[in-house]
């Protein structure tokens, strides 16, 4: 099979500071890939080691088999890792997953069907979070992601879509991740990228009845509004060119104010 087959999906895993917890993500990917392959989907696997900790690197080296292409980026920032991956894609559809996240078994296959039927950035309907110790209640939450983000202005106020996604290779090649600027607090590069994509007219959607799990540190107080607090804010985006009335509507809908 050609290594540039444009009729399948490429799974791109971003590993950085997960350590042994990376094993859970890899297990969920293996299960999702097996489910998709049984139904005829061609899958390529890429692991991006983005400034990995020593334990994460050891975990990756011991767990990634010959099916995986590995991109070593020892000094990369998150946006540099995303951009390196998007410029090295080999399939028509692409699934991005962070090493802290786990998939439900059907996610990859169902999201790829959705991406083939409609050009959009597809996410799961539900994001289930948990802490380091599943016996403790800290860290548990259920974040429902909109089936259709009809008002992209939500992204200017809060990260309404914090999970990984499946989308087309064309969208990723067209829209680079923006450069962070920690001195200005512009570090929420994934939400910033979503803003730029939405501003270009791309739909942001969720696949019904699918879900992801996300491990979060027990020390972090979790809610739908602070899943990405550690990532800071977004920078300039064309999505901000909205009528004041639209943002006022979002405020009156119960969402927190602009940062």
Give the separation between CA 208 and CA 187, rounded to whole angstroms: 30
Q: Which residue has the tokens 């309907």?
A: 125
Q: Domain of 87? A: 9-252
* Residue 1, domain member (yes or no): no
Whether 3 maps to a domain, the answer reads no
Position 246 confidence tier, pLDDT thresholds 50, 70, 90: low
CATH code of the domain covering residue 103 = 3.90.550.10
Tell me if 2 is assigned to some domain: no
Q: Are 128 and 136 in contact (CB under 8 A)?
A: no
- Distance separating alpha carbons of residues 74 and 209, to the nearest angstrom: 37
Number of domains in the chain: 1
Contact 95, 33 (CB under 8 A): no
- pLDDT at 248 > cutoff 70: no
79-126 pLDDT per residue, tens = 999 999 999 999 999 999 999 999 999 999 999 999 999 999 999 999
Long-range contacts of 35-40 (CB under 8 A, 24+ apart): 35/105, 35/106, 35/108, 35/109, 36/9, 36/108, 36/109, 36/112, 39/109
Give the chain's count of helices (H) and strands (E): 8, 9
- Kindly state the average pLDDT of the residues 222-245: 63
Give the burial class of 148: count Cβ atoms within 10 A of its Cβ; 0-12 exposed, 13-18 middle, 19 or more buried: exposed
Residue 258 inside a domain? The answer is no
Q: pLDDT digits over 22-64, tens only? A: 999 999 999 999 999 999 999 999 999 999 999 999 999 999 9
Q: Is residue 259 in a domain?
A: no
Give me the sign of the Cα torsion angle 214, 219, 224, 226.
Answer: negative
| 257: in domain | no
The pLDDT tens digits for 199-208 are: 999 999 999 9
Predicted structure pTM score: 0.87
């Amino acid at each position: 099979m050609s290594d540039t087959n444009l009729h399948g999906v490429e799974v791109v895993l971003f590993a950085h500071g997960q350590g042994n917890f990376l094993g859970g993500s890899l297990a969920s990917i293996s299960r999702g890939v097996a489910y998709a392959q049984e139904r005829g989907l061609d899958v390529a696997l890429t692991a991006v080691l983005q400034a990995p900790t020593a334990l994460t690197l050891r975990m990756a080296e011991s767990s990634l088999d010959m099916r995986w292409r590995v991109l070593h980026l020892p000094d990369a920032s998150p946006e540099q890792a995303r951009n390196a991956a998007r410029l090295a894609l080999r399939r028509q559809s692409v699934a991005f997953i962070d090493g802290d996240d786990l998939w439900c078994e059907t996610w990859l296959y169902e999201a790829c069907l959705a991406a083939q039927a409609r050009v959009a950035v597809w996410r799961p309907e539900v994001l289930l979070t948990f802490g380091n110790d599943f016996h403790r209640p800290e860290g548990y939450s259920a974040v429902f992601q909109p089936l259709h983000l009809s008002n992209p202005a939500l992204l200017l106020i809060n990260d309404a879509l914090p999970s990984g996604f499946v989308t087309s290779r064309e969208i990723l090649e067209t829209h680079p991740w923006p450069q962070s600027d920690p001195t200005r607090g512009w570090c929420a590069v994934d939400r910033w990228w979503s803003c730029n994509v939405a501003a270009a007219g791309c739909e942001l959607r969720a696949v019904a009845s699918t879900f992801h799990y996300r491990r979060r540190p027990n020390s972090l107080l979790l809610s739908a509004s602070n899943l990405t607090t550690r990532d800071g804010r977004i920078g300039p985006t064309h999505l901000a060119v909205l009528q004041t009335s639209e943002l006022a509507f979002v405020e009156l809908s119960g969402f927190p104010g602009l940062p």
